[in-house]
Amino acid sequence: MRVAIVTVGDELLSGDIENTNATWLCARLSDRGVDVGRVTTIPDDVSTIARVVNEYHAEYDAVIVTGGLGPTHDDVTMEGVAAAFGRSLSEDPTVIEWLEREGGYSAADLTDGTTHLPTDARMIPNEEGVAPGAIVENTYVLPGVPTEMKAMFDRIEREFNGVPKHTEIVTADEPESALIDRLVELRDRFDVTVGSYPGGTVRVKITAGSRETAEEAAAWLADRVQRPEGSDERQ
């Protein structure tokens, strides 16, 4: 299963806030064995949202869109997603019913932006806030407020399934360039994915389909690199 994540918000593109939602979603999806093929951040602009969602929903198995839900004039994500699927936005009775029952709001209190979903969308209730999410075909629309987004993802995560992978980390106290031949041999010998992340020391991340393979590959490499002082056999 391959997923694209679209994070919507001018405040992300101006560098005002770190895109922690994307990182959190990537980690959760990876834990489920789902590949994230792309993360894209775009402005609060209907036509851009429509164009990007339209493109990705055809290219990926699923699209997760976060941000830009709510009552203010710059919350245009639902409108963009509706346009991506050639649908209109309309008042959704399940949203009104849920907000009246669970949220204690009366329909009269709620602004249009909060109760309108793309036609024939499925509502995702917002347990931590007001504005609901929506599912339109393979596209999941979640809020941008992290507590709301996370609670909503918890409700839908069972729809995202892949083949979980196993990961081991080996830390080497050598220049990354010096390790190249051993990393290539590691990859070929064990048929694993190898990533290396330089810093003070080099972290080598080994990913395999089974725990046994990941551990064997990590043990093989750990015996062949200079370990940082005070490190365990593997770390």
Asked if 205 and 169 count as a contact pair (C-beta separation under 8 A), the reply is yes
Instruction: Report the residue number, 40 or 138, with the smaller CB distance to a copy of itself.
Output: 40
Return the number of the residue (119 or 196) whose C-beta is nearest a copy of itself. 196
Q: Kindly tell me which residue out of 33, 37, 103, 162 binds a copy of itself, with binding defined by CB under 8 A.
A: 37
* Beta carbon nearer to a copy of itself, 176 or 216: 176
| Phi, psi of 40, rounded to the nearest 5 degrees | -130, 135
Look up residue 83 and give its amino acid: A
Shortest approach of a copy of itself to residue 94 CB, angstroms?
A: 20
Closest residue by Cα to residue 179 from 160, 152, 202: 202
Q: Which stretch binds a copy of itself (CB under 8 A): 19-27, 117-125, 152-160, 220-228?
A: 19-27
Contacts to a copy of itself from residues 114-133, by CB under 8 A: 114, 130
DSSP secondary structure of 191-228: T-EEEEE-SSSEEEEEEESSHHHHHHHHHHHHTTSPPP
Cβ at position 70, least distance to a copy of itself in Å: 7
Measured CA angle at 82 (ends 6, 33), to 5 deg: 35
H or E stretch including 140?
strand 139-142
Q: Does 106 bind a copy of itself (CB under 8 A)?
A: no
Supply the DSSP symbol for 85: T
Nearer to a copy of itself (CB atom), residue 86 or residue 175: 175
Shortest distance (Å) from residue 120 CB to a copy of itself: 26
Cα 158 to Cα 162: distance, rounded to the nearest angstrom: 10
Which lies closer to a copy of itself via its Cβ, residue 119 or residue 193? 193
Using CB under 8 A, which of the segments 67-75, 83-91, 119-127, 217-225 binds a copy of itself?
Answer: 67-75
Contact 218, 212 (CB under 8 A): no
Nearer to a copy of itself, 61 or 119 (CB): 61
- Confirm or reject binding of residue 187 to a copy of itself (CB under 8 A): yes
Report residue 113 CA to chain centroid gap: 24
If binding is defined by CB under 8 A, does position 235 make contact with a copy of itself? no
Chain centroid to Cα 47, Å, comes to: 22
Q: Which residue has the tokens 């995702």?
A: 124
Could you say whether residue 29 binds a copy of itself (CB under 8 A)? Answer: yes
Residues within the interface to a copy of itself (CB under 8 A): 10-20, 22-30, 35-43, 70-74, 111, 114, 130, 145, 176-177, 179-180, 183-184, 187, 193-199, 205
